[in-house]
Amino acid sequence: MLPLLLITSLIVFCVPYIAYLFYVRHYATQPWKLKIDENFQPSISILVPARNEEANIEKKLKNLAAVDYPKEKLEIIVVDDASEDGTLQTVEHFINAHPDLTIRIVMQKTHAGKSAALNNALNVSSNSIVVVSDADTYWAPNVLSNALRYLSDPTVGAITGRGINENLESSWVTNAEDNYLNLTCIIRVGESKIHSTIRFEGGFCAYKKNAFSEFDRETGSDDSGTALDVVQHKQRAILVPEVVFTTSFPTVLSGKLKIKARRANQLIGLWIKCLRLLVKGELVLPKRIVIPEILLFIVNPLIFLSITIISAVLLILSPFSLFSVSLLLFLGVLLLLARNLFLELILDNYILVYAFLSFLLGRRYVSWKKTKS
């Protein structure tokens, strides 16, 4: 009975992953069906939220200054969220040293979180397009020219890019994360070409101001939550794969777990919000995107937990049975042939289980915290 239950659970677990990956991969290879003006070069406001970023903010501003885009069309707004280090002083020094750049500072006297910081910056921004970038991420020089031309299409309201780890070979932790990022990039590009992806990343997010109300405060996910708002305003939110930014990922497991648990909690809240809108008949995001994502983020992790429990019971009750030995050999082959991908799959599903339980218990991540490497 238990072996049959385990096999059934494995099939139910694997089918959504495999089916959806093949489905979106097909669309990811298709051309964009958009009206793109290659000469589109609007004036933009770049919003940089910062809290205790003294170690990164000067490098970030130098990176923005080096972007290949007309300086007269750039407005940089740094929002200091009550930093307790020298972030503000470093920005002021940079402004004095670079009078050719338009850089403004918005100060939050009390720590209110990233979404509040972005909304304060949004209120004072001068241009119809705003681009958000975290203080510890860095753009390729051609990132704006690669991205903004897609906003020339009247149906597109938001664009995100893909993050690349600067420290890819630092440890198995960063290497496994790279496998995860490559896989999710395929999914997000496929969703974008179908209609939209709402899995946005804070390293690069460009929005038309008339395509959303404000930066998301409800789910704690200012990037993905705002992308959903764009879709609900009946515009598309897409990932453009040639829009690239770099960031450093924690090299130790504890740092990785903290970041991914926070992100998973936010995304689960986002998909639950989508589920509520779907039930009410108000969701604009196509069902062929949202239903598989809900399965992958909420249902599949719970199935994975049951697979773990059933496997453990089988191995304890019948450790030398043919089925148990075959199961151990199968796991050994996976570890030998696809160790990083297999470990990442296990880790991500356990993180999703934890994040789902923490969400049900009322835990919300609405402010960013620094995570040590």
Q: Quick check: 182 pLDDT over 70? A: yes
Whether 168 has a pLDDT exceeding 80, the answer reads no
Answer yes or no: are the C-beta atoms of 36 and 159 closer than 8 Å.
no
For the residues 268-290, what does the mean pLDDT come to?
95
184-199 pLDDT, tens per residue? 999 999 999 999 999 9
Q: Can you give the pTM of this predicted structure?
A: 0.89
Q: Which of 22-36, 175-189, 333-347 has the lowest mean pLDDT?
A: 333-347
**Higher pLDDT among residues 50 and 331, named by residue:** 50
**The tokens of 138 are what?**
């860095």
Residues 6+ apart with CB under 8 A from 362: none
Average pLDDT over residues 79-87: 92
Q: How far is it, in rounded angstroms, from Cα 335 to Cα 315? A: 18
Confidence of residue 370 (pLDDT cuts 50, 70, 90): very low
pLDDT digits (tens, 9 = 90+) for 97-152: 999 999 999 998 888 888 999 999 999 999 999 999 999 999 999 999 999 999 99
Of 53-62, 142-151, 169-178, 271-280, which gets the smallest average pLDDT? Answer: 169-178
Identify the pLDDT of residue 199: 94
Q: pLDDT tens-digit profile of 302-334?
A: 999 999 999 999 899 888 888 888 888 988 887
**Higher pLDDT, residue 289 or 345:** 289
Rounded to whole angstroms, the Cα distance separating 165 from 179 reads 11
Calpha distance 255→370 (Å, rounded): 10
**Nearest-angstrom CA–CA distance, 77 and 65:** 13
Distance CA 35, CA 111 (A): 42
Residues 211-254: tens digit of each pLDDT: 999 999 887 788 999 999 999 999 999 999 999 999 888 778 88
Mean pLDDT confidence for 252-276: 89
Give the mean pLDDT of 71-79: 95
**Cα end-to-end distance, the chain, whole Å:** 45
For residue 248, the model assigns a pLDDT of 81
**Domains of the chain, start order:** 1-373 (3.90.550.10)
Secondary structure (3-state) at 64: helix
